Copies of this chain bind each other. A is one copy, B any other.
Amino acid sequence: MTNRSQMTRPATRPTMKQSPDGSAKRTRQHLPAAERERQIVEAAADFFAEHGLEGQTRELAKTLGITHSAIFRYFPSKEALIERVYDHVFLSRWDPDWRGLLSDRSQPLEQRLIRFYHAYAERIFDAQWMRIFMFAGLKGHPMTNRYVSLIRTQLIRPACGELRAELGLPTLASLPITAREEEAFWALHGMVFYLGIRKFIYGMRTQGDQSQIIADDVRALLAGAPFILRAACGTSG
């Protein structure tokens, strides 16, 4: 479980008051609405990542030291809270600069892909992202489709174009992209993504240098891809 929440959340532990009998007792704490809302979303992201989207609001509230009624002051329904969690976890974790990085022909494609997947893994390899994404996918949430489209238009297809250029093959504009060459880069994506699955869904402890592994993955694919692309472009299937 990530500790990001505890690190970014300001230290607002409930004040303690001394009871007449001497026992410490936490008093009710009133936070500014905006701050409390932030806290709830962040805590909900951790909570739903761990317990699934069916986790109870009462238990979530307990991790915040409030009652579940308080949550409904900020969100009209649990579903609305979950949508906010989606936004919080997924929105703008995709760096628009990555699109430029992939097309930067001043460095070899191998280097670009290694740099990209290094940065990408850095962004999405945590329990919040990986697990909530899986929960959402299993639930059939449309967010999943939006994400897949993003990957295809911003990563897979550009990468196909770049590899064609590096191999001196026709451009995507002149020769339509084939399913087979798209699949080559989906394969690379799967290699990296599966690292995250093993770690955050299977709960395997990671072994080996992740940067090394990602670099190996990229090099392996680029070693085999020329054969695939030349065949795919030749037979167009």
* A175 is an interface residue with CB less than 8 A from chain B: no
Most buried by B among A54, A191, A219, A224: A191
Nearest chain-B residue to A54 (Cβ)? Answer: B54
Q: Is the Cβ of A208 less than 8 Å from the Cβ of B183?
A: yes
Q: A213 — which chain B residues lie within 8 A by C-beta?
A: 180, 183, 187
Contacting residues, chain B, for A119 (C-beta < 8 A): none
Whether A165 sits at the interface, judged by CB under 8 Å, is no
Residues of B within 8 A of A54 (CB): 52, 54
Bound Cα distance A204, B147 (Å) = 12
* Distance in angstroms between the alpha carbons of A204 and B182 in the assembled complex: 14
Q: Which residues of chain B have C-beta atoms less than 8 A from A138's C-beta?
A: 52, 131, 134-135, 138, 201
Q: Provide the residues of chain B in CB contact with A137, threshold 8 Å.
A: 197, 201-203
Query: Which secondary structure dominates chain A's binding surface?
Result: helix
Check: A170 CB closer than 8 A to any chain B CB.
Answer: no
Q: How far is the CB of A111 from chain B (nearest CB, A)?
A: 16
Would A216 and B224 be within 8 Å (CB), given that A137-B202, A145-B202, A198-B148 are in contact?
yes
Contact A228 B220, CB 8 Å, known A186-B194, A190-B190, A194-B186: yes
Instruction: Tell me which residues across on chain B come within 8 A of A202, comparing CB atoms.
Output: 137, 144-145, 148
Q: When chains A and B are docked, how far (Å) is the Cα of A184 from the Cα of B215?
A: 11
Question: Separation in Å of the A200 CB from the closest CB of chain B?
Answer: 9
By a CB distance below 8 angstroms, the chain B residues around A52 are 54, 138-139
Would you give the shortest CB distance from A209 to chain B, in whole angstroms? 8
Residues of B contacting A121 with CB < 8 Å? none
The 9 closest A-B pairs by CB, nearest first: A190-B194, A220-B224, A179-B208, A223-B224, A223-B223, A187-B191, A137-B201, A179-B207, A190-B191
